Structure 1
Amino acid sequence: MAKQHRRAQISRSKNHQGHIVEEVFDDNLLPDAAEIKKLAELDPDIINWLKQRAEKEQDFRHKSFTNRIKLVSKTERGLRWINYLGLFFSFLLLGGGMYLSYTLIIEDHEVLGSIFSGVMLIAIASLFMSKVKSNNNEKTPPR
């Protein structure tokens, strides 16, 4: 029952050329009154048929909209879990790296343990900052 109309046009002048595209999409569930009147003259039961089709179309649209909302909800829930898991594993890596640094310092490798912990902290901080920047659509400088 949807009607579509598309018009494409090229406009030219001395200095430039343009392309115009116009699309009209009438998404009405029922045809207009004049068409219904013409169709009713051909078949008197067409009005009931049109009503049934419109009800089915409306039910389909509602189900489709509900399915889209469920899909978006599942996607968002999955992204949240990925973020939580990323935080958890980065915390584990940071904790493991700090423990390794601690054991290096205890075993009389103070310089190596200090450098390792500093590099570990800087690496984790830079990963978090690049993730925040990518979530905010900011560009990160190339490495």
Structure 2
Amino acid sequence: MAKKAEQNKVCDKTGLTLEQNTVYDDNLLPSADELAKLDAVSKDIIPWIMKRTEMEQDARIKFNEDRMKIAQDDFKHVHRYNFTALIMAFIIAIAFLAASFYLILHGQETIGTIFAGGTVVLIVSYFLKAKNKEVK
């Protein structure tokens, strides 16, 4: 935890340069000389600052824990959704293949074969599409 300085320069076509300097101080306590000055003003202020610093640190830790819990819950939800989608796709594929088998058994060989072939092509194209999406 320390001060971080960042400098950004942007130059346009006319040669005008815009410079922005930013200093980030993520230190929870004031510097030692500031604490000495504050102690000279009031003896009660240092314990108050220490208490507030501890509260700030606890709030940061809780915030990070809450963020991690949200990320874990989101991961579990996506995993559960993908698993359910896979099971449903399998059930639908089996139902379509069973329907085509039924059509073939009842004398509709052409329609049943087209139905089964379409189902197989659809399943293969879906998995290829999913694999391509995963690779990107």
- State the Cα distance separating 1:99 from its structure 2 match: 0.3
The answer to whether residue 122 in structure 2 is matched with residue 135 in structure 1 is no
Q: What residue in structure 2 maps to residue 69 of structure 1? A: 68
- Residue 23 of structure 1: how far off its partner (Å): 3.1
Partner of 2:26: 27
| TM score, norm. by length of structure 1 | 0.80
Structure 1 counterpart of 2:94, one-letter code: G
CA deviation after TM superposition for structure 1 residue 17, in Å:
6.9
Seq. identity, %: 29
What stretches of structure 1 of length at least 5 have no aligned partner?
A: 139-143
SS of 2:43's equivalent in the other structure is coil
1:54 aligned partner: 53
Aligned to 2:121: 122
Normalization by structure 2: what TM-score?
Answer: 0.84
Alignment partners' CA distance in 2, 1:89 and 1:115? 22
**Partner-residue secondary structure (3-state), 2:86:** helix
Structure 2 counterpart of 1:11:
11
In structure 2, do the counterparts of structure 1 residues 64 and 96 end up closer, same or farther at CA, with 3 Å as the change threshold? same
Query: Structure 1, residues 79-98: CA drift from partner, whole Å, max 9, x if none?
Result: 00101111110001100000
> Residues 127 and 26 from structure 1, CA distance in 2 versus in 1: closer, same or farther, beyond 3 angstroms?
same
The one-letter code matched in structure 2 to 1:70 is K
Number of aligned residue pairs = 135
Which letter maps to 2:74? T
CA distance in 2, matches of 1:71, 1:47: 36
**Post-superposition CA distance 1:43-62 (Å, at most 9, x none):** 11211111101100011111
